[in-house]
Amino acid sequence: MGDITNFAIPFFLATLIIEVALSIYGNRESYTKKDTFASLSMGIGSIGTSLITKGLKFGVFTFLYEYRLIEIPMVWWGLIALLLADDFSYYWFHRMSHKMRYFWASHVVHHSSQHYNLSTALRQSWTGEISGSFLFYAWMPLVGFDPLWILTAQSINLIYQYWIHTEVIRKMPRWFEFLFNTPSHHRVHHGSDLQYLDMNYAGMLIIWDRMFGTFIDETKAPTYGLIKNISTYNPARIAFSEWGNLARDVYKTSGILNKLRCIFAPPGWSPDKSTLTTEELREKAN
Ligand SMILES: [Zn+2]
Ligand SMILES: [Zn+2]
């Protein structure tokens, strides 16, 4: 999380308390103590790891910026281009995080809660940046976006995604639902229901999903979490367990090609079909 993200923390906590109060008042079980503390710990841990990885990322972007095609000024059109470019990169980073187990090993953390509330937004990976998620943005300094502004745009995107992690807001006005990522669209993304799996990857703008064929409307209440849920609230285990599973599967699988498939195929892929990918699950259901 970035510097401006730190300024957003008081706002995060205040709204989180309001949502907890609403959920108690409404007698809805959207919060449980263990789950919330696990999510908060993941958020704090990700701030800690980002202190290290942010410097590394900034170094790489600054190096690439030396070879920029043009210099994009931070005037109104430059800012719009920056936010669009960042959000576009986020879409592809997020989509690949669901389609390649190597990136999924980090991203699974964000999907590991069976609850959906503002604290879920803070349930962030500790290993995303160090495992190379920033590579999806590496084209931006080459084109001519200032590295400092790229990091700022990433923070803005992350802050935007906070408020959409709620069940309190059902639907936004139609024009807004058409253009922007909303609580309704993102609830779908956290659903483990077959029709909802690997859909609505948007960061701020839902238009990317509409353009690239990954959009689905919320038609029924999602079942939050993973196909196979984790059974721990221990932050370190949440952060690293899928890396452990991946290493174990690579070790167990014979043949170099199949070992590589373990790493680069979609999550769920297995040589003996003992576990299935989203696509295989859909084929089976049809
Ligand atoms: Zn996701
Ligand atoms: Zn989310």
The mean pLDDT values, 10 residues at a time, for the chain of 286 residues are 73 88 79 91 91 93 98 96 98 98 97 95 94 97 98 96 95 98 98 97 98 98 95 94 97 97 97 95 93
Rounded (10°) CA dihedral 97, 101, 102, 106: 60
Distance 68 CA to ligand 2 centre (A): 33
| Strand extents, DSSP E, the chain | none
CA of 55 to the centre of ligand 1 (A): 25
CA–CA gap between residue 271 and residue 259 (Å, rounded): 9
220 Cα to the center of ligand 1, angstroms: 19
Q: At what angle do helices 3-25 and 147-160 cross, to 10 degrees?
A: 0
According to the model, what pLDDT value does residue 281 have?
Answer: 96
Distance CA 286, CA 282 (A): 6
Q: What is the pLDDT of residue 22?
A: 86
- Paired with 180 in beta bridges are 205
- pLDDT computed for residue 229 by the predictor: 94
Q: How far is the CA of 261 from the centre of ligand 1 (A)?
A: 21
CA of 66 to the centre of ligand 1 (A): 33
The label of the residue with tokens 């907890």 reads: 20
Q: Tokens 């908060």: give the residue.
A: 40
Closest CA to 60 of 122, 124, 151, 126: 151
pLDDT of residue 12: 87
What is the pLDDT, as a whole number, of residue 1?
A: 43
CA of residue 200 to ligand 1 center, whole Å: 8
Say how many Å lie between the CA of residue 270 and the centre of ligand 2. 26
Q: Which ligand is nearest to the CA of 122?
A: 2
Of 200, 202, 207, give the one whose Cα is nearest residue 222.
200
Residues with Cβ < 8 Å from 103, sequence gap 6 or more? 93, 96, 97, 128, 131, 132, 133
Distance from residue 275's CA to the centre of ligand 2 (Å):
24
- Cβ–Cβ < 8 Å for 104, 68: no
C-alpha span between 76 and 82 (Å, rounded): 10
Ramachandran assignment for 266, one of left (phi > 0), alpha (psi -120 to 50 degrees), beta (any other): beta
Q: How far is the CA of 68 from the centre of ligand 1 (A)?
A: 31
Nearest bound ligand to the CA of residue 187: 2
H or E stretch at 208: helix 207-212
Tell me the Cα Rg of the chain.
Answer: 19
Q: What is the pTM of this model?
A: 0.94
Place of tokens 């669901």: 98
